[in-house]
Amino acid sequence: VFTIRGLPNGSYEAYVDGAEAYVGRIFGGPACVGRCRDVIQTTPGTVTTVTAGSTADGVSFSLERGGRITGVVTDTASGLPLPNVEVEVMALVGGTVSQVDSVLTNAFGVYETRRGLATGSYIAGAFNNLGYMQELFDNVVCVDGEDCVAAVPRATPIPVSAGAATTGRNFV
């Protein structure tokens, strides 16, 4: 149960961003591929009219478990795992690249997304301050001075299904 107090008269759209293993959803609309605050601009949901001092009932959400992406980040030459490498997961939302999740690899170089991912395609990138090249999956190196967002069209999309793990998306 949730209550938002103090809203002035007006029309509002509501959404809930997914937390942990759940996919976000727009009220009266679809599950969010990406963060709902980015998606709602291009994929509107049901508008709820609010009158100051009254209650607008019937705005509720049913969330589904999302998918996950997992893999390992290793040193190309030695094959050793790389800890503390940031792996960022992105989605194309309305033609714009939107960050969906960001996690660090553990001591064994393993990463697993935290947020529930809606069924769809995602781009992942490995970013670090360890002297290694910044890279998008699958072996798309962001060349010197290139913003990795510009390299997204060359990256291999990672298909994800809600409720399932997409494994083996490794960075070497």
The pTM for the full model equals 0.82
**Stretch 134-162: mean pLDDT:** 89
Residues 6 or more apart in contact with residue 95 via CB below 8 angstroms = none
DSSP-assigned beta bridge partners for residue 31: 25
What does the alpha-carbon distance between residue 118 and residue 25 come to, in Å, rounded to a whole number? 9
Residue 167 has pLDDT above 80, yes or no: yes
Q: Give per-residue pLDDT as tens, 94-140.
A: 778 888 899 999 999 999 999 899 999 999 999 988 889 899 999 99
Q: 90: part of which helix (H) or strand (E)?
A: strand 86-93
Task: Select from 31, 35, 144 the least CA-distant residue to 88.
Answer: 35
Rounded Cα gap, residues 82 and 161, in angstroms: 27
Q: What is the pLDDT of residues 19-49, one digit of tens each?
A: 778 898 999 988 887 778 777 777 778 899 9
Nearest in space to 102 (alpha carbons), one of 114, 110, 93, 84: 114
What is d(CA 78, CA 134) in angstroms, rounded to the nearest whole number? 18
* Alpha-carbon span 169 to 74, nearest angstrom: 12
Angstrom CA distances, 98 to 14, 143, 149, stand at 19, 21, 10
Q: Please state, for a pLDDT cut of 70, what percent of the chain lies above it.
A: 98
Q: What is the pLDDT of residue 145?
A: 62
Number of residues in the chain: 172
Say what the pLDDT of residue 90 is: 94
Helices (H), the chain: 36-39, 148-151
